[in-house]
Each structure stands twice: as C-alpha cells, then as structure tokens.
C-alpha cells in the first residue's frame, strides 16, 4: 500500500495516550471498515436508515431509543436544541431566536470543562446559555436548585475524566432533582464505556462519542427516552444539517455498537498481563519505575505509569514526553501528570510491535 505518511508529509503517530480526538480517536477494526464501505457504496433513504439503525441499536442495548449523530459534540448541541426549541418549528429553524428566553442550561461549575473545545460553546451552538452552579471544587444539589428558574431548559451532567472528580453531586440525585422540576437531564458520557448505567438512572438522554470507547468511525450516539430522541431528530431541519452524519459512518457505528454490546472486555488483570514485559524492561533502567495503574476516573482501563527520577536521569518527565513526539515515530503518551514526574502508556490502540518501539525509544531517550 502507498505510504500515506510520506505522500502527505505527515508524522507517523503511535497513539499511547488513549482515545484522543486530536489523533483521530480509535483504530477502526477491519470488520467495522467493511460495514463503512457497504454504507459508502450504496444509497439509502437517510431518514429511514437513521430510524432503523436507531431501533436496531436500541434493541441491542435494551434502551428506549437511540440515534446516530456525527460526533458527541453534535449530539450535545442537538440535545440542547431539542430542549431550547421544545419541538416548535419556529425555534428549530432559528435556534437563537431572541424571543425565546427558555435557554438556560444548568451545570456544575466543576463540569464546565474544555474537552478540546469548551463545552459551553457546544451548548451555545444548540442555543443554550450555560448557568454554572456551585464552585470549582464543590457543588451541592442546593447550589443546583438555586440556579433553576422558569427559563431553565435543561440540566447537563458531564461524566468525564476532564471534570473535577470530587465535591460534585451524585448523578442519580442530580437527575432526580431535574425531574422534580420537570426539567430534562442530559448526560455527556462521551468517553465512557458503559452504555447502560447512566440512562438506567433515569436521564432523558446520554451522549457517547462513536470513536472513543465504541471504536467506531468518527460519529456520535445519543440514547434516551423516545419522546426526547424524537425532538432531537427534528433538529435535522435546523442546526442538524451543519453536523450531518454520513451513511458510511451510520453503518460503521451501528456494527461497532452491535459488536461492542456482545464483547467480552479484557479484565484489569488481563490488561496488566499485557503490560508486564514492558514494565519489566522499563524497571531494569536506573531512574525509571513502571507499574500498572487503573484509570483515574474509575474506568476499567489499566495503564503503565512510568515515574522518572529527575535526580538520576537529569531529565524531566515533561522533557521525555516532548522528545517522544520528535523524530520519525511520533509517540503520544498520556501526559496529564507529567508535571508530577509521571507519564502513562495507554495500550488500547497500541500493537505489541508498537509497544516495543515505545519501550525502546524511552530507554534510548533517557540514556542519551
């Protein structure tokens, strides 16, 4: 096959950082690509295709309704638009119509994150206006309640490693509070792995990214209550058009979800097993220490955490992370804690061969 890296003069990237949007998300498996090809090469009535694949996914996951969108961001914006317009065509066609003041979206301040773009901007694309509840490190149900009024269109809960992980309300209580006030509750679970538990807590809609845990094409999934999903679908006449999803992605994601729903995920122990030879090699180098650690946000993901002893190595973890990205093989590691002297290796999208390359390059860098 033609070498794409050479042809377009782009770096050959090894993704040991996780499902990062800036690197293209996931490695899409061969069988999912085949379904994308079937989608690309045939015609469908798109509305029908979206309705039927939505029903198929809903039955796979045993939920009320499902709808494929172009990205989790597109899903968030259209869910917000559904709450802001409440099915009124006048507002669907002009989501920022000044007459409509029913657009306050309450979320905890610790959830008002930047996931590559501010979620506040994504919400405003859908006509919403963010109203923060609580403070950066603490938000109670009372704080949320204090921000609810007659202009509140929805409550949004962001379940993510990007968020403040403590001092935030329990999701179940947050949802119950919204429903006490008859206000819909939307959950952004873009990078989460569990397709059932958040909706089961009673949310109106839960949004996932197609290219993160689901390992599908660039796309998004909204699951939720049928009436709510019907309102989301109506946005295709409005803002939905600038974020439409292609038929190849619809078929690719549907198949990826079917596969995902029946998969047997690797246990934490099996994941650690895969890292053991890598960790042994790193631990043989003075100044480096590798061990298996579970995902900081509690997901069932094991990573290798490498600590760099700056005294011995005369080089910081930040410097190593930077050097890994240089040269012919551009290696992206998980660097959220590099300022504490630790980088993590996420192997979900790394082959065994690539894992060895990563090991060799780290050792080569620290040895000079």
Ligand X SMILES: *Cc1c(COP(=O)(O)O)cnc(C)c1O
Residue 252 is a binding residue for ligand X (CB under 6 A):
no
Q: Which CB atom, from 145 or from 197, has the smaller least distance to ligand X?
A: 197
Of 110 and 317, the one with the shorter C-beta distance to ligand X is 110
- Dist CA 340 CA 318 (whole Å): 9
**Shortest Å, Cβ 56 to ligand X:** 21
Which range of residues in 127-135, 158-166, 230-238, 331-339 is near ligand X by CB under 6 A? 158-166
Q: What is the CA radius of gyration of the chain?
A: 22
Q: Which window, 71-79, 85-93, 99-107, 277-285, contacts ligand X (CB under 6 A)?
A: 71-79
Q: Does 188 bind ligand X (CB under 6 A)?
A: yes
Minimum CB–partner distance for residue 94 and ligand X (Å): 24
Q: Considering only 70-78, 133-141, 260-268, 328-336, which stretch makes contact with ligand X by CB under 6 A?
A: 70-78
What gap in Å lies between CA 15 and CA 351, rounded to an integer?
10
**Computed from CA positions of residues 280, 285, 286, 291, in that sequence, does the dihedral angle turn out positive or negative?**
negative
For residue 208, list its beta bridge partners: 221
Q: Which DSSP string corresponds to 293-355? A: EE-TT--S-EEEEEEE-HHHHSS-HHHHHHHHTSSSEEEEEB-TTGGGTEEEE--TT--HHHH
Q: Which among 155-163, 224-232, 246-254, 269-277 is the span making contact with ligand X, rule CB under 6 A? A: 155-163
User: What is 35-102 written as a DSSP string?
Assistant: HHHHHHHS---HHHHHHHHHHHHHHHHT-SEEEEES-HHHHHHHHHHHHHHTT-HHHHTTTT-TT---
Residue 292 and residue 304 in contact, taking contact as beta carbons nearer than 8 Å: yes
Task: Quote the tokens at residue 154.
Answer: 């929805």
Contact pattern for ligand X over residues 94 through 133, marking x by CB under 6 A: ---------------------x------------------
Binding flag, residue 71, ligand X (CB under 6 A): yes
Does 67 engage in binding with ligand X (CB under 6 A)? Answer: no
Least Å distance, CB 116 to ligand X, is 7
Cβ at position 46, least distance to ligand X in Å: 20
Q: Is 158 in the site for ligand X (CB under 6 A)?
A: yes
Residue with tokens 């009673």: 202
Give the whole-angstrom CA distance, residue 294 versus residue 77: 32
Contact call for residues 301 and 294 (beta carbons, < 8 A): yes
214 secondary structure, DSSP code? T
Please tell me whether residue 192 binds ligand X under the rule CB under 6 A.
no
- Binds ligand X (CB under 6 A): choice among 178, 216, 220, 224: 220
**Cβ atoms within 10 Å of 207's Cβ, excluding its own:** 30
Between 57 and 190, whose beta carbon lies closer to ligand X?
190
Shortest distance, CB of residue 126 to ligand X, whole angstroms? 13
Quick check: 72 binds ligand X (CB under 6 A)?
Answer: yes
Please, what is the minimum distance in Å from the beta carbon of residue 71 to ligand X? 3
Q: Which residues bind ligand X (CB under 6 A)?
A: 21, 71-73, 115, 158, 160, 162, 188, 190-191, 209, 220
């Amino acid at each position: 096959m033609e070498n794409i890296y050479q042809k377009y003069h782009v770096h050959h990237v090894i993704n040991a950082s996780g499902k990062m949007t800036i690197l293209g998300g996931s490695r899409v498996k061969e069988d999912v690509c085949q379904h994308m090809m079937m989608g690309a090469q045939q015609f469908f009535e798109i509305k029908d295709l979206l309705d039927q694949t939505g029903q198929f996914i809903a039955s796979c996951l045993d939920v009320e309704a499902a709808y494929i969108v172009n990205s989790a961001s597109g899903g968030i914006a259209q869910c917000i638009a559904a709450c802001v317009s409440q099915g009124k065509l006048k507002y669907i066609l002009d989501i920022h119509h000044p007459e409509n003041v029913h657009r306050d979206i309450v979320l905890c301040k610790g959830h008002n994150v930047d996931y590559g773009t501010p979620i506040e901007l994504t919400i405003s694309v859908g006509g919403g206006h963010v109203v923060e509840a609580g403070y950066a490190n603490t938000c109670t149900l009372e704080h949320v309640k204090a921000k609810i009024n007659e202009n509140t269109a929805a409550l949004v809960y962001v379940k993510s490693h990007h968020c403040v992980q403590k001092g935030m309300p329990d999701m179940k209580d947050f949802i119950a509070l919204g429903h006490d006030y008859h206000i819909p509750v939307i959950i952004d679970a873009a990078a989460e792995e569990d397709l059932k538990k958040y909706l089961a807590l009673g949310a109106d809609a839960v949004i996932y990214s197609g290219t993160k845990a689901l390992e599908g094409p660039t796309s998004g999934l909204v699951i939720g209550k049928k009436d709510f999903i019907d309102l989301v679908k109506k946005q295709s006449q409005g803002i939905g058009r600038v974020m439409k999803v292609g038929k190849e992605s619809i078929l690719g994601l549907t198949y990826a979800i079917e596969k995902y729903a029946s998969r047997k995920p690797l246990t934490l122990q099996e994941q650690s097993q895969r890292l053991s030879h890598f960790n042994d090699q790193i631990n043989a180098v003075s100044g480096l220490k590798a061990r298996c650690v579970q995902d900081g946000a509690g997901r069932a993901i094991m990573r290798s955490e490498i600590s760099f002893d700056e005294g011995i190595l005369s080089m910081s973890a930040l410097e190593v992370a930077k050097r890994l990205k240089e040269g012919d093989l551009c290696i992206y590691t998980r660097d959220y804690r590099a300022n504490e002297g630790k980088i993590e290796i996420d192997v979900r999208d790394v082959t065994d061969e690539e894992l060895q390359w990563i090991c060799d390059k780290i050792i080569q860098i620290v040895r000079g």
